Amino acid sequence: MEKVYNFCAGPAMIPAEVLSKVQDELVNWNGLGTSVMEISHRSQDFIAVAEQSEKDLRELLSIPDNYHVLFCHGGARGQFAAVPMNLLGDSDTADYMDGGYWAHSAVEEAKKYCAPNVVDITCERDGKKAIIPASEWSLSDDAAYVHFCPNETIDGIEIRDLPQTDKPIVADMSSTILSREIDISKYGVIYAGAQKNIGPAGLTVVIVRDDLLGKAKQILPSILDYSVLVDKESMFNTPPTFAWYLAGEVFKWLKSIGGVAEMQQRNEAKAKVLYDFIDSSDFYRNEVHSDNRSLMNVPFQLKNPELDALFLEQAKAAGLVALKGHRAVGGMRASIYNAMPIEGVQALVNFMAAFEQQHA
Ligand code: PMP
C-alpha cells in the first residue's frame, strides 16, 4: 500500500524523514548491536540522547535558563492532576479559562483538588464560534494560577492572546507546541502530550519555571511531582525511552528545516490553503470565527451530512485518512500538524473540490 496523508488528531503523523531514519537504525542503534529500546535509561548512550533532546528543545523554543524541561509519563491528562497538586500550595482555588473540550476536561480533574474558578470564555461573533478577548476574562484574586488551553484540538479553536495576570500562567499546549513561536517567559508551566507535534504517544513534555517548584502536596504521587522529576532529571522511574529518543529525532528534523519560525510559516501557508478553500465553497463550512481558527486542527462540515460516510470512504480510497471529526463536533476534521506537508493539504483540497463537483 502506498503511503497515505494521515490527518489524525493524535497520535499523529511523524515526519517521513524521521521514520525512515528510525527504521534504518532500529535493530542496530548507535553501533550497539541492539535497538535504543533495549538499553538502560541510565547508560551513557541513552543519557546522551536525553541531554541532546533537551538541548534541542531548549534551542527550538528559546527556553530561558530558569525553566526546567521534564520528559515524563501520563499524558496531558496526567498533567490535569499534576498541575493543581504541584501548584496550589496553600490556596484552594485556581482560575480555569474554559474555551472548549480540553480546557473543560482539565476543570473536571482540577475539581478533585480544589474549587476552580471556571470562566466560560467562549462567545459568538458574526454567527461563528469565537473566544472573548483575554482582557475581558474575569480572574479571581486568590487563584494560585491561571490555566488555559491555547489550542482546542477538537473544537478547532486557537487562542492567541494570554491571560492578563501576574499569577503563573499554565498552558495545555498539547496540540500547539512547536507549531508557532511562543514566548516561554510569559508562562509558569507549559505541558504537552507528545503525540501531535513531538513524537509518539507515551511521552509528556513539561516546562516549568524554577520558582514554582517545592509546593507539591504531600499526597502527590512522586512520578507527577515536578521537584522529584527535576531532581532525578526525568529518571525517577524508567522513562518512555523509545518515545523520548524519537522525540529527539523530531527535534533534530525541526532544526534542520529552520526551526519553529520556519515551521510557523509553513503551518500558516497550509492552514490558509484549507480555510480559503472552505470559505470559497458553499458545499463545506467551518464554524469558527477567523480570529480563533486553529492552525493545527481544521474541523469542517459538509452542508449535507448524509454525504459524510461517502466522503470519508472516497477520501480514504484517495489516500487521505483519519478525517472523521470528533463525535462532540461531528463532520470532518483535518489535523495538519508539523509533519503534514503542504502537498497533503493540497491533495485534500483537490479531493474536496472534486467531491463537491460530483455532489453539489
Ligand atoms: N489536551 C489537548 C489539547 C489534547 O488535544 C489532548 C489529546 N487529544 C489532551 C489534552 C489529552 O492528552 P492525553 O491523551 O495525552 O492525556
Instruction: Give domain status of residue 11, yes or no.
Output: no
| DSSP per-residue letters across 63-92 | --TTEEEEEESSHHHHHHHHHHHHH-TT--
Q: Are residues 240 and 288 in the same domain?
A: no
Is residue 176 in contact with ligand 1, taking CB distance under 6 Å? Answer: no
Q: Is 314 buried (19+), middle (13-18) or exposed (0-12) by CB count in 10 A? A: middle
What's the pLDDT at 310? 98
Binding-site annotation, residues? 42, 76-77, 102, 153, 172, 195, 237-238
CATH of the domain at 21: 3.40.640.10
| Enclosing domain of residue 33 | 17-256
What's the pLDDT at 2? 77
* 196 is a catalytic site residue: yes
pLDDT, tens digit (0-9, with 9 covering 90-100), for 292-304: 999 999 999 999 9
The CA distances from residue 99 to 165, 233, 271, in Å, are: 18, 33, 21
What's the pLDDT at 360? 86
Instruction: Give domain status of residue 47, yes or no.
Output: yes
What's the pLDDT at 257? 98
pLDDT < 50 regions, the chain: none
Residue nearest to ligand 1 atom 12, measured at CA = 76
What's the pLDDT at 1? 65
Residue nearest to ligand 1 atom 9, measured at CA = 76
Instruction: Give domain status of residue 116, yes or no.
Output: yes
Instruction: Give domain status of residue 2, yes or no.
Output: no
Instruction: Give domain status of residue 6, yes or no.
Output: no
**Boundary-marking domain end, from 231, 256, 281:** 256
Q: Are residues 225 and 304 in the same domain?
A: no
Q: What are phi and psi of 156, to 5 degrees?
A: 70, 35
Instruction: Give domain status of residue 110, yes or no.
Output: yes
Residue nearest to ligand 1 atom 4, measured at CA = 174
**Boundary-marking domain end, from 241, 256, 271:** 256
Instruction: Give domain status of residue 299, yes or no.
Output: yes
Q: Are 280 and 349 in contact (CB under 8 A)?
A: no
* 244 is a catalytic site residue: no
Is residue 234 in contact with ligand 1, taking CB distance under 6 Å? Answer: no
Q: Are residues 151 and 222 in the same domain?
A: yes
Residue closest to 121 by CA, chosen among 92, 160, 173, 87: 160
* 166 is a catalytic site residue: no
In the chain, count H helices and then E strands. Answer: 9, 16
Q: Are residues 83 and 229 in the same domain?
A: yes
Binding-site annotation, residues for pyridoxal 5'-phosphate? 76-77, 102, 153, 172, 195, 237-238
Q: Are residues 143 and 241 in the same domain?
A: yes
Q: Are residues 130 and 232 in the same domain?
A: yes
Residue nearest to ligand 1 atom 14, measured at CA = 75
Question: Which is it for strands 122-125 and 151-152: parallel, antiparallel or unpaired?
Answer: unpaired
Strand order across the beta sheet in which 169-172 lies? 67-72, 204-209, 189-193, 169-172, 146-148, 95-98, 117-120
Q: Are residues 150 and 239 in the same domain?
A: yes
pLDDT, tens digit (0-9, with 9 covering 90-100), for 133-144: 999 999 999 999
Nine cell digits for residue 224: 507527577
CATH of the domain at 342: 3.90.1150.10
Q: Is the ipTM of this complex over 0.90?
A: yes
Identify the active-site residue in 129, 167, 196, 270.
Answer: 196
Contacts of 226 (CB under 8 A, 6+ apart): 68, 70, 82, 86, 206, 208, 212, 213, 216
Is residue 99 in contact with ligand 1, taking CB distance under 6 Å? Answer: no
